[in-house]
Structure 1
Amino acid sequence: MKRDVSVFHSTLVERVAETFGQAYFIYDVTGKHFRYLNRAFYTLFGIPEATTPDVLQLLGQLHEEDKVFLFEKYAKLLDTKTQEAVEFRVNAPYQETKWVCLNCQLLEEGQGVLLSGFAEDITVHKEYQANLLKFNSKKNATLEILSHDLAAPFTNIEGMVELLEGELLQGSGPSAMNLVQFIKDNAKKGSDLIRDFIDNEFLESSQIVLHKERVNICQRLQIMIENYQQMGESLLAKNFELVLPGEPVYMYLDVMKMMQVFNNLISNAIKFTYDQGTISVAIEDKGDSVLVAVTDDGIGIPDSLKPNLFDKFTSSRREGIKGEKSIGLGMSIIKKIVELHNGKVWFESTEDAGSTFYVEIPKE
């Protein structure tokens, strides 16, 4: 007796699908019903296996902030027929909010169209990334605070040693002068070492390979600013503000690298803003792109330094208000990362009246 090959293949595919933890499905786009769901699908979306879910039931589980996004991705899939992984949140019955990664593809069947693919629970992965970003942001804020908090005493030591050096020149022997020079040299080495450490930390975090994901940029920047507010106002003697739009703003970014961009812009603002000054970060949703502005009321940028500010090892580098040194790489790295995201960065500044740096990035 000849066996029906299509039945055999169908049974085999179903057996394979039940073996893995992903939620597999086949949806008849033309007939508007599911042809196949494995057990993991029912588990992922909290649906009793005895029932056959309809699309409206599943759409009702979508997180409110992700609905429009997912509808747009579905419309794009129907239009372009291209496969694309998307991440979104679901509120399954009697379960905590989950992050789901969906991979799917359109298949033509006669006069109809099938949508097949698999979904995977990535909640643990997203929580890990969020915690990693949180601690990375806190690390950056801590390093910047340490660099200022430790470099300032070294700068003061250098100044006091110079005064002492002048007095000793009038009546002391060479041994005292040698000791003074030793203290002076080591204070400078310590100060330079701290700045080099911060600069290298930034360089190592800014490799050019991008790993983009969909993120709420408002939430990410809020975490960063809160770290500066909680740890920095008393130590850095600066005020930090964040201006957010009324709704969350989602975009595709390499989060770690883009946070390095904003952290470096804030770091520069700290260096060139007097104590009790204000540093503000504002986010604007422009539809297809997002504009982030980092503003300070510091000393501004002289006109002579503006043309080469984004050059590598730029001649526009200068010491901060408290003597913080610069190797001239920070702004060039910022420009590189922004351009890798197909964005642009520019600034407006008036000497003695502060500066604003703008970063505009497409949402996708």
Structure 2
Amino acid sequence: MMESEVTFQHAPLVERVAETFGQAYFVFDLKTNRFKYLNRAFSHLFGVSEEIALADAAQIHGYLHEEDRPFLYDQYAKLLTVKEQEGIEFRIQVPAQEEKWICLCCQLYEEKEETLVTGFAEDITQRKEYQSNILKFNSKKNSTLEILSHDLAAPFNNIEGMIELLETELKDSQSVVLNLVHYIKENAKKGSDMIRDFVDNEFLESAQIVLHKERIDICHRVRIMIDNYQQMSGGLISKNFVMELPDEPLFMYLDVMKFMQAFNNLVSNAIKFTHDHGTIKVKVEDKVATTLFTVSDDGIGIPQDLQPRLFDKFTSARREGIKGEKSIGLGMSIIKKIVELHQGKVWFESQEGKGSTFYMELPKE
């Protein structure tokens, strides 16, 4: 373990304590490019013996996932400036083992003639897989709810329209018949409102102020969301979906639940204001320091007089969808709030009768 090399006061005691935890603790000397200390959990995490790791730190470098190496180089450069880094998530590929996700926290110490990086790492693979499954099913739920609320609105509206005709025809009929017709009309409207209210509440509850950011491949998340819609196109929903995504993974630090809910709401709005067999295009562009997300459609567009108030809370710019879907005027204001919490910006271009394009640009970190 090379205890004699550890420079911290009471180091042997610290080491014995470190051995009792499951986290991988280490001390790395930047001047010699060698580990001065690491515990057994570190050896287990990286699949290499303590002796080998202490003698040859470069072997650990070889286990880093190729796609994550540029990201880690950037984090190392920041560490030299800010002296402390937390929650660095990256992948390693140990020979004969499954890919692992690691979360690293570290500090830079400069004492006398030594420059040390100390910290701990832990295996978060199961947590990432669990979160991935939650996000997958959450995306499926969101798209399904939006599609159902969109397509169920039409038959409910048709029922209400036919009932109004019946009321006109039966205005001189027996009161019992009219009361039954009124009852059917009332419940048809209630059913339509309940569906939309449920979707609105789901969106509102997911848009709380506190962010819980994690490093994720945003293209993977967008692809899952649009795939859910494409699977239902031509069935529950008659729209053409087009995706333009980078070929390589695009990693960002996001509160993925909130951001994908905002993104889903933009797609839902495009569905709401685009006629059947229209086209909805989703595009993700890597802008180096930022990522630009675009949702465009060839629908009915936004009237010029409503555009300045579109992002207001409870905006007067709210409109019913093509099939009568109602709006409470909160969706766009919440999207704006979520984007701004991520230090990003959102804007749009629209021409009545020709469609709309919404943009969200967010920093990667």
User: Which category of TM-score, normalised to the shorter sequence, fits these structures?
Assistant: over 0.9
Q: Which residue of 2 aligns with 1:104?
A: 106
Deviation track 1:209-251 (CA, whole Å, cap 9, x = no partner) reads: 1011111111111111111112344101112221102322111
Could you tell me which residue of structure 2 aligns to residue 166 of structure 1?
Answer: 168
How far, CA to CA, are the matches of 2:208 and 2:340 in structure 1? 13
Q: Do 1:158 and 1:188's aligned partners in 2 also have CA atoms closer than 8 Å?
A: yes
Residue 68 of structure 1 deviates from its aligned partner by: 0.2
Partner of 2:278: 277
Report deviation, 1:151: 2.4
When the two chains are superposed, the root-mean-square deviation of aligned CA atoms in Å is: 1.7
Are residues 139 and 107 of structure 1, via their aligned partners in 2, closer, same or farther at CA, if it must alter by over 3 Å?
Answer: same
Decide whether the 8 Å contact of 2:319 with 2:326 is kept in 1: yes
In structure 1, the gaps of 5 or more residues are: none
> How high is the sequence identity, in percent, across the aligned residues?
68
C-alpha distance in structure 1 between counterparts of 2:198 and 2:9, whole Å: 63
* 1:56 and 2:47 aligned: no
Are the structure 2 counterparts of residues 340 and 63 from structure 1 closer, same or farther at C-alpha, using a change threshold of 3 Å?
A: same
Deviation at 1:50, TM superposition (A): 4.1
Provide Cα deviations, 1:20-76, integer angstroms capped at 9, x if missing partner. Answer: 111111111112111111111111111134423523211111111100000110011
Corresponding residue of 1:190: 191
How far apart, in 1, do the equivalents of 2:12 and 2:338 lie?
49
Classify the secondary structure of the residue corresponding to 1:83. Answer: strand
Conserved in 1, the CA contact under 8 Å of 2:273 and 2:301?
Answer: yes
Q: Is the 8 A contact 1:233 1:240 kept in 2?
A: no
Matches within 5 A, 1:244-255: 244-255=245-256
User: Equivalences for 1:1-364 in 2 at 5 Å?
Assistant: 9-51=10-52, 52-169=54-171, 171-364=172-365
Any conservation in 1 of the 2:38–2:50 contact (CA below 8 Å)? no
Deviation at 1:93, TM superposition (A): 1.7
Normalised to the residue count of structure 2, the TM-score between the two structures is: 0.95
Instruction: State the SS of the aligned residue for 2:247.
Output: coil
Task: In structure 2, give the amino acid aligned to 1:95.
Answer: Q
CA contact (8 A) 1:144 1:198 kept: yes
Distance 1:53 1:359, change over 3 A: farther
TM normalised by structure 1 equals 0.95
How far, CA to CA, are the matches of 1:339 and 1:321 in structure 2? 29
What is the rounded CA distance, in whole Å, between the counterparts of 1:186 and 1:13 in structure 2? 69
When residues 53 and 168 of structure 1 are mapped into structure 2, their CA distance, relative to the original with a 3 A threshold, is: farther
Amino acid in structure 1 at the alignment position of 2:131:
Q
**SS, match of residue 301 in structure 2:** coil
Check 1:108–1:122 CA distance in 2 against 1; reply closer, same or farther (3 A cut).
same
